[in-house]
Amino acid sequence: MPKTGGYKYDLAVAYRIYPGISKTPLVYADDKYQLARLCLRSFKQCLGDLKVKMLVILDGCPPEYKQLFTELFNEVDLVFHVYDGIGNQATFNEQIDWLLQQEDTETVYLAEDDYFYLPGQFPAMIDFLNSGHDVDFITPYDHPDYYSRPFHRPPAMTREYGRRRWRTAQSTCLTFLTTKASLQLTAGLFRSFARGNHDHALWAALTKFSGMRIWDHAATAFKEIYYLKLLYLTWRYGGRQISCGKKWRLWAPTPAIATHIESSGIAPTVDWMVEISKQEKEKT
């Protein structure tokens, strides 16, 4: 179990949710409410016995979305911020603001609404976060790009811890675990997302991913124009960080603790449809 360090809560979560569906999810492709319900229930089961303070950011959501959270969490542990469609970039900034202002715990998690989690696994991430000075950020997602895009291979470092193999990653999405102190030191770069930066580019700057490696693999890994844009954004918003900032380490677990539920981005080695079916059978 994680160390609480005298705090009332083990974890502070900023969970943002909106009623639209992006791309094609593995299940409930035409029903965001049921998709959100599935993902949220899986998240709650993943937390295990952790004491969690939850900020819920509802962006353009019908009233019934609030009930998804009150059915699963004690109301004393919930804070709701309701907006009328302010968008992805603004809600991400809202997550950062609240997590830096809260004084409930040092361990913080930024969550998007389209991840499916395995039960009881979240404490393993907190344990790993507390395991060493070189664990700065953790994604629950073993991104398939780590295996299909040459610039992600090989990882800089690997480590056996608990029942998983952990690897350093160059980038991930915007669902991740860290400490309040680390988030404070990197908030400026994360906030560049709201000014036009890309999640891949901001992570590349934080982890100091070599721009030349992006260019070297551009022709074979993906559309070249994408990597030209990525290289530009990485240096435009993260040039100072790359030149004189700390090299932050982002870690990913194998097997995954959660997967992005977009059908084209499912984490490998786990039969997610079997896991989804198990949790669907358990719901009331």
∠ Cα 116 174 211 (to 5°)? 130
Could you report the per-residue pLDDT of 241-277, keeping only the tens digit for each?
A: 989 999 999 999 999 999 999 999 999 999 999 999 9
Q: State the DSSP code for 141.
A: B
Helix (H, G, I), strand (E, B) or coil at 251: strand
At residue 210, the pLDDT reads 56
| Structural domains present in the chain | 11-282 (3.90.550.10)
At residue 244, the pLDDT reads 92
Token digits of residue 270 = 């786990």
Provide the residue type at 68 as one letter: L
∠ Cα 250 179 164 (to 5°)? 45
At residue 227, the pLDDT reads 73
Could you tell me if 180 and 99 are in contact, meaning their C-beta atoms sit under 8 angstroms apart? yes
Provide the residue type at 206 as one letter: L
Mean pLDDT, to the nearest integer, of 224-249?
Answer: 87
Mean pLDDT, to the nearest integer, of 114-131?
Answer: 97
Higher pLDDT among residues 215 and 20, named by residue: 20
Residue 266, CA distances (Å) to 116, 117, 147 in order: 10, 12, 12
Q: Percentage of the chain with pLDDT > 90?
A: 79
∠ Cα 160 116 159 (to 5°)? 10
> At residue 64, does pLDDT exceed 50?
yes
Secondary structure (H, E, C), 171-183: CCCCCEEEEHHHH
Provide the residue type at 225 as one letter: I
At residue 23, the pLDDT reads 85
* Pairing relationship of beta strands 137-138 and 250-254 according to DSSP bridges: parallel
At residue 223, the pLDDT reads 54
pTM of the predicted structure, to 2 decimals: 0.93
Could you report the per-residue pLDDT of 126-140, keeping only the tens digit for each?
A: 999 999 899 999 999
